[in-house]
Amino acid sequence: MKWLFTYFKPLRTRIMVGTSIKIIGTLSELMIPFLLSYILENVIVTNNVANILFFGALMAVCAVVACLGNIIANRMAAKTTMIFSTQMRKELFANTLALSARNTDRFTIPSLESRITSDTYNVQNFVGMMQRMGIRAPILLIGGTIITMLMDRKLALVMIATLPFIFIVVYSISRLGVPLYSKVQQSVDGMVRIVREDAQGIRVIKALSKIDYENARYDKANMTLRKNETKVGVIMGVVNPVMTLLMNIGIVGVIAVSAYFVNQGSSSVTTVIAFMQYFTLISMAMMSISRMFVMYTKCAASAKRISEVMECTSELKTVRDDGQGDPSVHISFEDVSFSYLGKKDNLKSISFTLKKGERLGIIGATGSGKSTVLNLLMRFYDVNSGMIRINGKDIRSYTKEELSSMFGVVFQNDFVYADSIEENIRFGREISTENIIEAAKIAQAHDFITSFSDGYAHSVSTGGTNLSGGQRQRVLISRAIANNPEILIFDDSSSALDYKTDANLRRALSEHFPSTTVITVAQRVSSVKGCDLILVIEDGVIIGSGKHEYLMENCQQYKEISNSQMGGEFID
Amino acid sequence: MTEKNTEKRSKKGIFLRLSKYVLKQWPLFIFALLLTLGANQLSLLGPKYSGAAIDAIELSSGVDFPTVWKNIAFMIFCYVISALLSYVLSIVMIHLSQRIIYRMRKQLFEKLTTLPVNYFDTHATGDIISHLSYDIDTINATLSHDLIQVMTSVYTVVGSLIFMWQISKPMILIVVITVPVSIIITRYRSKVVRPLYRKRAKKYGELNGFAEEMLTGSRTISAYGRKEIMSSRFNKINNEAMDSFYKAEYQGALLYPTINLINNISITLVAVVGGILYMYSQNGTILAASAFFITLGGVAQFVQYSRKFAGPINEFSNILHEFQSAFSAAERVFAVLDEKPEREDAPNAKAFVKADGNVELKNITFGYTEDKTILKNVTVNAKKGQTVAIVGPTGAGKTTIINLLMRFYDQQSGEILMDGIPSADIKRKDLRLAFTMVLQDTWLFCGTIYDNILYGREDASPEEVYAAARSAKIASFIEGLPDGYNTILSDDGVNISKGQKQLITIARAFLSNAPILILDEATSNVDSRTEIQIQTAMNELMKNKTCFIIAHRLSTIQNADTILVVKDGTIIEQGNHTELIRQGGFYYSLYNSQFS
């Protein structure tokens, strides 16, 4: 958790001022029981009402100072927390987006998401709590102890004796509770999963008349949840009664012992009254401290998860080009092999070359390695052996920016986000509105966009659920071509277009982008039929390459696929 | 005015309905009530005995040890028993609330399974889940925690007041002033703060949503090198969220110190007034018989009681708020419980066990809403063993016909005849069991592969399950897995592709021996090569069955006995392939466009 402190450095002054104010406030709070016992013990005997009023006023002043001090300090703490948390989350998000594909795979998207959200909230809460309670509680604890020691050492020792028990009880039970809570969480997840499954599969369930079966399945999960929740409750329920009991026993102890000392004349009974007050304050502080320990374990786990992402550096290093490439060849794969996990090769000895403006089609079954070729070309991953060149230069010698500016790409299940259609096409690049409209026209998207009353300003909902599959696809294609890319990549992306639109799109593309190299990955023969080069990939190996006519003659698998599709998808 | 009345009535209704759940567990509830009374009474007695003990110590004639010991013994007894009782109480409350919550969840889920498919089509899964998790949790929190808290608080406040009254009547005045002040302040402050916290929650939600959205697009963002611009958008939302956090905290920071101030002032007043009264009581100005007379122990007790008193008062506003949210949660839960279930079978509904598979749709008209008709006067006749293919663009209502066949929805006019019997007169369960479906959205549940296939027909033998898997060409894949048929399918478990999932659902369909088959884009997730492999199996599956097929592969469509061409919500053409080609209509142009 050391890295956290780097964030606090610039906030040093603010934290110090806030802490000082908090200390003043807390000390004033400590004065109140002291003054109370002082009035009862020393002021009343003066038989002077004015004196009592004076000390009463002093108590009131302390109360006001304590109140103001706490308010100001808590507000300053909120500000510190805000600045800290904003900065931390900002850097974490930027780092997350900068992760290499391999690292993103390793962390997984849901995990990265929860690191940015719930983990940062955990750390933020802890930082906030530390500033509020982390200062107050120790002061109340130590200050209270010192004052009671000064007032009456022997009585104080009786009282302090109970403190370790309070700490042990609260701390150990809370620790015991943490794994139980995660068990409850698991059973909640289990229950929710069944509800989600059934809500989605209601047609199948009803069709097969499985309602009783599903009810029984749910009942089991419901029962487990009930059992686990009860277990946690029974254990955590110990904390409060035991705490209260220990506190009360401390008070009883003080009274009992004080009886002896008062009898000896070495204690006074008014001290006992003050003690009872201090004891409440001190044991509250003890409780806060034990809670903070539990919070700490939670926060430390989150902080670790955050720092894992923060410290993750890209394994994709820039290297020098060997100068061996032919600059007139646009894209070349030279004996490229690659494995995602380092166990079995996902691509083996892939070689091909493309000239500027040529069209490449890649076809093969799901999982054959089609998309892997694209992942390597865009350098989401580095090859294990072999070399990929663009314009004759090793792609590892380009900077990330140089490389990404060459591509326009539409992935499988690519994403549109909650913003206007125009912004979805622009995608944060500097592209004029005219160029965007131009791109949309080529992508066959202009007509449907202008059919919305607000046209290009029409807002897309999260995940693009207010657009049909085909509309989404055309927005994505507009995005890909809006920046006039050197290389255009379609990963199985015309599948949502009906035949006519698909044909129009292809015609418009070759008209407007004659010098752009286009790579299409597809499952349908019709999508790659017209390409200058078609690669048929099976299990990471090229089993056929050439034009459509050639493959129909010479590649058995290609022929099979083509025949089964009978010229492609019929409708849709 | 009337609106407000109905709202009140419904609130009362919700309260009564919730109470019924509690009262159903009345033995536990009464036990809990008794425990609360006992535990609180004992803990209230504590300060009384400590006051007596202090008075006994204070005696100017020396310490009265027997009295001190007696009171200490009482105190220990009270505190120990009170702690025991409150622990037993918390256990009782957990069991009580868990019983209620378990029952509510059970009722809610079982209700959901009886609801018509329409409910699931019109409600987001997330909403449905939130009823069963978030809403019920909210009710649970109130039942298990706040209920006790309220009972305890009321008792503590009243009890403390009584004891304080006994100690010193004049000093009660102090509390009478300070308590309403702190109630007013909490209520007022929470009115200021609550919207701020609500806003904060909303902003957090936006932040989470944005992070999720952008992370799913991380590859695209990386491909276009758009990291900076997306980060700056994130920063804007992050700043807004943190700003709302700060604003809420800024205002929220006021409440507890202020309440604390009032308590401290109250104690100060007790000290001053109590001190003065004690002074006069000691020097004889106030006689022991007077209402103003007070001992030192009395002052000590008073301080203790006023501290005890402060706690529940501070919590008051919080609890009120929690009760409100529990009420609205209960309202949402009850709303689901009151949903209309799928219409019951008519009392004279017929059993329908050995269907032949003749299906006839006669003059069917249907729309999901009154104003938008999807099917208009549709008539289709599928004889036993025939194949009906439904083609047309997405969203044209292809699936609607299936929804009507299965009676997920009921047509507005016309009738569907199953072997000549109107399907509305057949028991729903029997009707549906006459069909087997393979849908585009593969549906598997978290469980073993074996159980998922067995789902098709529960009384099937293991051999039949293996045979079904073999027919669907998935057996060798399954047998290749380390756990074979016992492999558990889950989101984070084994890597199994969409295509393989689809094959498992096809195996499930093989297992069921219903006479009518529905294939809704059943092979859309299977790649072409695998499709070729299972084509024979699919033909096997379709043999001797009446089939309704939504497909895009021409080979399947061409061989169908009847092709329905659906466009813009109506069936525009109907006939077999040759007839439709001869007609030269929409089907013809679709068919030809692939060769252009």
Of B68, B144, B300, the CB nearest to A273: B300
In a domain, residue B408? The reply is: yes
Domain that holds residue B263: 169-293
Are residues B189 and B151 located together in one domain of the fold? Answer: no
Cα B25-B28-B34 angle, rounded to 5 deg: 135
Residue A567 pLDDT more than 50? no
Q: Does A357 lie at the interface with B, CB-CB under 8 angstroms? A: no
Give the residue carrying structure tokens 């503590």: B156
Q: Does B132 lie at the interface with A, CB-CB under 8 angstroms? A: yes
List % helix, strand, coil for chain B (3-state, nearest 5): 65, 10, 25
Q: Are B113 and A205 inside 8 Å of each other by CB?
A: yes
Using CA atoms, how far residue A247 sits from A161, B302, B404, B406, in Å, is 11, 18, 69, 67
In a domain, residue B497? The reply is: yes
Q: Does B165 lie at the interface with A, CB-CB under 8 angstroms? A: no
CA distance B538 to chain A (A): 14
Residue A383 pLDDT more than 50? yes
Return phi, psi of residue B104, to 5°.
-60, -45
Number of domains in chain B: 3
Q: Are A468 and B223 inside 8 Å of each other by CB?
A: no
Give the residue carrying structure tokens 């004690």: B278
Q: Which of A203, A205, A254 to mutate to test the interface with B (most CBs of B within 10 A)?
A: A203
Residues on chain A touching B233 (C-beta within 8 angstroms): 428
Residues on chain A touching B217 (C-beta within 8 angstroms): 414-415, 417
Long-range contact pairs involving A144-152 (C-beta distance under 8 Å, separation at least 24) = A144/A30, A144/A278, A144/A281, A144/A282, A144/A285, A145/A282, A147/A30, A147/A34, A147/A278, A148/A274, A148/A275, A148/A278, A148/A282, A151/A34, A151/A37, A151/A271, A151/A274, A151/A275, A152/A258, A152/A261, A152/A267, A152/A271, A152/A275
Return phi, psi of residue A231, to 5°.
-60, -50
Q: Is the pTM of this model over 0.80?
A: no
How far apart CA B370 and CA B357 sit, in angstroms, is 31
Using CA atoms, how far residue A511 sits from A406, A407, A504, A515, B595, in Å, is 20, 19, 11, 10, 21
How far apart CA B138 and CA B22 sit, in angstroms, is 15
CATH number of the domain that B101 lies in?
1.20.1560.10
Return phi, psi of residue B182, to 5°.
-70, -30
Handedness of CA B15, B20, B25, B29 (dihedral sign): positive
* pLDDT attached to residue B317: 63
A234-259 residue pLDDT tens: 988 888 888 888 888 888 888 888 88
DSSP lists the bridge partners of residue B389 as B549, B563
* pLDDT attached to residue B60: 67
Q: Does B307 lie at the interface with A, CB-CB under 8 angstroms? A: yes
Are residues B161 and B173 located together in one domain of the fold? Answer: no
Closest CA to A542 of A337, A326, A379, A392: A337
Asked if residues A534 and A551 have their Cβ atoms less than 8 Å apart, the reply is yes
How far apart CA B503 and CA B472 sit, in angstroms, is 6
422-441 of B, contacting A, C-beta below 8 A: 429, 432-433, 435-437, 439, 441
Q: Does A238 lie at the interface with B, CB-CB under 8 angstroms? A: yes
Are residues B329 and B365 located together in one domain of the fold? Answer: no
425-464 of A, contacting B, C-beta below 8 A: 427-429, 462-463
Asked if residues A273 and B299 have their Cβ atoms less than 8 Å apart, the reply is yes
Q: Does A8 lie at the interface with B, CB-CB under 8 angstroms? A: no
According to CATH, what is the number of the domain A3-152+267-310?
1.20.1560.10
How far apart CA B302 and CA B296 sit, in angstroms, is 10
Residues of chain B with pLDDT under 50: 1-9, 492-493, 596
CA distance B185 to chain A (A): 14
In a domain, residue B350? The reply is: no
**Three-state SS letters, B48-106:** HHHHHHHHHHHCCCCCCHHHHHHHHHHHHHHHHHHHHHHHHHHHHHHHHHHHHHHHHHH
pLDDT-based confidence at residue A572 (cuts at 50, 70, 90)? very low
Residues on chain A touching B439 (C-beta within 8 angstroms): 203-204
In a domain, residue B301? The reply is: no
In a domain, residue B300? The reply is: no
Dmax over CA atoms of chain A, in Å, equals: 119
Helix (H, G, I), strand (E, B) or coil at A342: coil
Residue A293 pLDDT more than 80? no
CATH number of the domain that B384 lies in?
3.40.50.300
Handedness of CA B523, B526, B532, B536 (dihedral sign): negative
Residue A333 pLDDT more than 90? yes
Return phi, psi of residue B172, to 5°.
-55, -35
* pLDDT attached to residue A568: 40
How far apart CA A477 and CA A483 sit, in angstroms, is 11
How high is the mean pLDDT of chain A? 86
Are residues B162 and B253 located together in one domain of the fold? Answer: no
Straight-line distance from the first to the last Cα atom of chain A, in angstroms, rounded to the nearest whole number: 55
237-266 of B, contacting A, C-beta below 8 A: 238-239, 242-243, 245-246, 249-250, 253-254, 256-258, 260-261, 264-265
* pLDDT attached to residue B64: 83
Are residues B114 and B198 located together in one domain of the fold? Answer: no
Q: Are B57 and A272 inside 8 Å of each other by CB?
A: yes
Are residues B267 and B249 located together in one domain of the fold? Answer: yes
How far apart CA B393 and CA B385 sit, in angstroms, is 26
Using CA atoms, how far residue B403 sits from A528, B400, B432, B554, in Å, is 36, 5, 11, 24
Residue A397 pLDDT more than 90? yes
Q: Are B224 and A409 inside 8 Å of each other by CB?
A: yes
Q: Are B221 and A97 inside 8 Å of each other by CB?
A: yes
**Residues in chain B, overall count:** 596
Are residues B116 and B31 located together in one domain of the fold? Answer: yes
Joined together, the tokens standing for residue A275 give 């003690």
DSSP lists the bridge partners of residue A332 as A353, A389
Question: Interface pTM (ipTM) of the complex?
Answer: 0.81
CA distance B531 to chain A (A): 9
459-488 of B, contacting A, C-beta below 8 A: none
In a domain, residue B346? The reply is: no
Handedness of CA B300, B87, B139, A232 (dihedral sign): positive
Give the start-end residues of each E strand in B199-324: none
Q: Are B129 and A214 inside 8 Å of each other by CB?
A: no
* pLDDT attached to residue A90: 93
CA distance A325 to chain B (A): 24
CA distance B115 to chain A (A): 10
Burial of A304 (0-12, 13-18, 19+ CB in 10 A): exposed
pLDDT-based confidence at residue A570 (cuts at 50, 70, 90)? very low
Give the residue carrying structure tokens 């060849």: A329
Closest CA to B524 of A195, A495, A19, A499: A495
CA B81 to chain centre: 39
Are residues B192 and B206 located together in one domain of the fold? Answer: yes
Of B433, B528, B535, the CB nearest to A523: B528
Are residues B147 and B175 located together in one domain of the fold? Answer: no
Residues on chain B touching A418 (C-beta within 8 angstroms): 213
Q: At what angle do helices B255-282 and B296-337 cross, to 10 degrees?
A: 150
Of A240, A269, A380, the CB nearest to B86: A240
Q: Are A526 and B209 inside 8 Å of each other by CB?
A: no
Are residues B283 and B333 located together in one domain of the fold? Answer: no
Joined together, the tokens standing for residue B36 give 């609360």
A169-211 residue pLDDT tens: 888 887 888 788 888 888 888 888 888 888 888 888 888 888 8
Residue A123 pLDDT more than 80? yes
Are residues B139 and B251 located together in one domain of the fold? Answer: no
Pairing outcome for strands A541-546 and A487-491: unpaired
DSSP per-residue codes, B469-492: HHHTT-HHHHHHSTTGGGPEE-TT
- CA-CA-CA-CA dihedral for B409, B410, B411, B417, to nearest 10: 110
334-373 of B, contacting A, C-beta below 8 A: none
* pLDDT attached to residue A494: 55
In a domain, residue B388? The reply is: yes
Return phi, psi of residue B471, to 5°.
-60, -35
Q: Which one-letter amino acid corresponds to residue A307?
A: S
A440-452 burial: b if 16+ Cβ within 10 Å, else e: bebbbbbebbeee
The count of other CB atoms within 10 Å of the CB of residue A130 is 16
According to CATH, what is the number of the domain A317-406+521-567?
3.40.50.300
How far apart CA A435 and CA A423 sit, in angstroms, is 12
Q: Which one-letter amino acid corresponds to residue B35?
A: L
83-102 of B, contacting A, C-beta below 8 A: 83-84, 86-87, 90-91, 94-95, 98, 101-102
Asked if residues B492 and B455 have their Cβ atoms less than 8 Å apart, the reply is no
The domain ranges of chain A are 3-152+267-310, 317-406+521-567
85-124 of A, contacting B, C-beta below 8 A: 85-86, 89-90, 93-94, 96-99, 101, 104, 109, 112-113, 116-117, 121, 124
Of B63, B249, B439, the CB nearest to A203: B439
Cα B132-B135-B139 angle, rounded to 5 deg: 115
* pLDDT attached to residue B3: 42
